[in-house]
Structure 1
């Protein structure tokens, strides 16, 4: 599929194209290749994606576009691939089964397969099927060698050499059985946690609200669980969350809030809530929409051991000076290209198939 530099150039151009779409503005730039063919069309796809999935608000779609525009710089891509054997790969057909919880959630796998010199066979979620095929067409225009090497299917996956599949814990069991004879990465449910000490600044707590509410909390990098010290005062937490109060004006979010609140009250669970977010003491990592679970800790070493033992359930740990590889407050939804989902190095996997 052409040289590695040509593939890098194509994704850098895609990043430039996406840079026109952000929450600050949607603005057509004269310098972008093939804009006359693609700019208005992508604006339309954003609208169609919103209509198809009411979790995909314009704000969330544009946030995703903006994040990818920033990630797809030549400097970032070259830093990412520098230690991998990209140029030595014999091209294989890699199937990707994508989730649909947040806009363009499967893009990193798509990018990884193509930048590695492989062909890609994509099976999308019905919840997120409009944005990526359009961006794939753009890639084919800026790098013709991609033509014939990017396929989308709604049918049965056939003829592939390896697979990357993302789903729930239940579908993962099916994937593991179904793809047992193929090289594979199978991704399951994960959630992110925040470790609080009570010494956080107001600014840090406001940043944490982005980790909680971005994409309505539907991403695996969304914080759904808090660890707090004994006798923690939740006022500081709720004060930090308050800047996100407008989220309750989203009808689908409000319906989930009302439903989950009713379930909790009928079950006579103790909850604290502020009109748009509930918190509940619970040992689970995955909390329902509009709610956050919390657990008390009294020993930081024990908590570190627990998080290490539970690492297959935890995507990100948000903290300040608590643990190696922690994520700063407010940064969970801004991963670098080398921040792999589940800690599995996709490029390394793709170099071995």
Structure 2
């Protein structure tokens, strides 16, 4: 079957990425040098996409795309016998954020018609072409500037953009995604190791992803210093000029407005009930009862991507350090893309 060949190609792609990432620059062959140049070109055009962050994203996908993981994922779905054209409007906030949609469409036996984000326009075409080379049957895909002649649409954008997309594609089957962010809930007895893992959930990709934590709930007597102490592993983030610009701007605004905040010279903590926080700022609030937290989650369900917390709190959460490690069956906005593609 065509899909079986494409799955084999995907597994080979995973091995190819792992082999590249395991090498040191001095042992690069010509192909490896070209990949490194591609990553550097991407960083030059979009400084948020550092080579390290792009390699982190590649490593996550390489680890995820094993034969066992793909088999366990796909066995829950019926693969379409008729290929349809699925329009994809991809986000570009973090590297490869749209790759899951692309893979889902291809392994559903449909044709992805892809409008790339201008911020992430190199890695996905590169991986698709490599995947094609590893597959016995060629994968059909298109890169376009304007989406036309579609059977369905999956689009990701800001809340403002989503309104236009919902209107524009009102006559198509669609998934239109909006802004989301993530929260963490501390019980109070977290180890330093757990708080250091939480730092990854906050700072990976500079905090630009919907799975990055921007709001923390802490018990009444929790010491703020413990957070700062365990965030120090990311202190070099302030050396990135775009992040530093955000930090300087937000700090200046708080000082001018005489607002209270805690600062450790690379991130600020602000006692604020808002779910979303500016880049370089983490909102926090103290809770007396977990019921208050549950009520907040329920009221903001449409805006929360994931909850990071200990499982004993019973908040349908993921473990510390796992926010940027979603599985193949973890879907943006909790809308099952594969089930959607079965209906097309």
TM interval, shorter chain, is over 0.9
Q: Return 5+ residue gaps in structure 1 as ranges.
A: 30-34
State the TM-score, normalized to the length of structure 1: 0.93
Q: What SS does structure 2 have at the residue aligned with 1:351? A: helix
- Is the contact between residue 23 and residue 59 of structure 1 (CA under 8 Å) also seen in structure 2? no
> Paired residue for 2:105, among 110, 113, 133?
113
Corresponding position of 1:50? 43
1:22 is aligned to 21
Change (3 A) 1:24 1:315: farther
Q: Shift in Å at residue 156 of structure 1? A: 1.6
Match of 2:217 in 1: 227
Structure 2 gaps, min length 5 = none
Map of 1:288-303 to 2, 5 A cutoff?
A: 288-303=278-293
Residues 207, 70 of structure 1: alpha-carbon distance in 2 compared, 3 angstrom cutoff = same
Number of residue-to-residue matches in the alignment? 343
Alignment correspondent of 2:245: 255
The answer on whether the counterparts of 2:275 and 2:283 sit within 8 Å (CA) in structure 1 is: yes
Matches within 5 A, 1:123-202: 123-143=115-135, 145-147=137-139, 149-153=140-144, 155-202=145-192
Change over 3 Å in CA distance of 1:314–1:54 after alignment to 2: same
Aligned equivalent of 2:4: 5
Please list the CA deviations of residues 2-24 of structure 1 after superposition, one character each: whole Å capped at 9, or x if unmatched: 52211211111111111134388
Partner of 1:257, secondary structure, is helix
Q: Could you tell me which residue of structure 2 aligns to residue 308 of structure 1?
A: 298
Q: Distance in 2 between matches of 1:166 and 1:282?
A: 28
- Partner residue, 1:239: 229
What is the root-mean-square deviation in Å for CA atoms of aligned residues? 1.8
On the 8 A contact 1:20/1:28 being kept in 2, the answer is no
Q: Structure 2 vs 1, CA of residues 243 and 351 (structure 1 numbering), >3 Å: closer, same or farther?
A: same
Write the distance in 2 (CA, Å) between the matches of 1:18 and 1:249. Answer: 28
| 1:21/1:27 contact within 8 Å kept | no
Per-residue CA distance 1:176-197 (angstroms, 9 max, x = gap): 1111110111111000100012
1:114-134 deviation digits (Å, cap 9, x = unpaired): 011000111011111011111
In structure 1, C-alpha distance between the alignment counterparts of 2:65 and 2:26, rounded to whole Å: 19
Any idea what SS the aligned residue of 2:339 has? helix
Q: Deviations over 1:218-271 (max 9, x none)?
A: 011101110112243101111111111111111111111111110111121110
Where 2:286 maps in the other structure, the secondary structure is: strand
SS in 2 for 1:69: helix
* CA deviation map 1:154-203 (0-9, x unaligned): x2211111010000010011111111110111111000100012211111
Q: 1:278 aligns with which of 226, 244, 268?
A: 268
Q: Deviations over 1:295-325 (max 9, x none)?
A: 2221102311321231111111010122343
Change (3 A) 1:316 1:144: same
Deviation at 1:349, TM superposition (A): 0.4
Give the distance between the partners of 2:26 and 2:126, measured in 1 at CA.
18
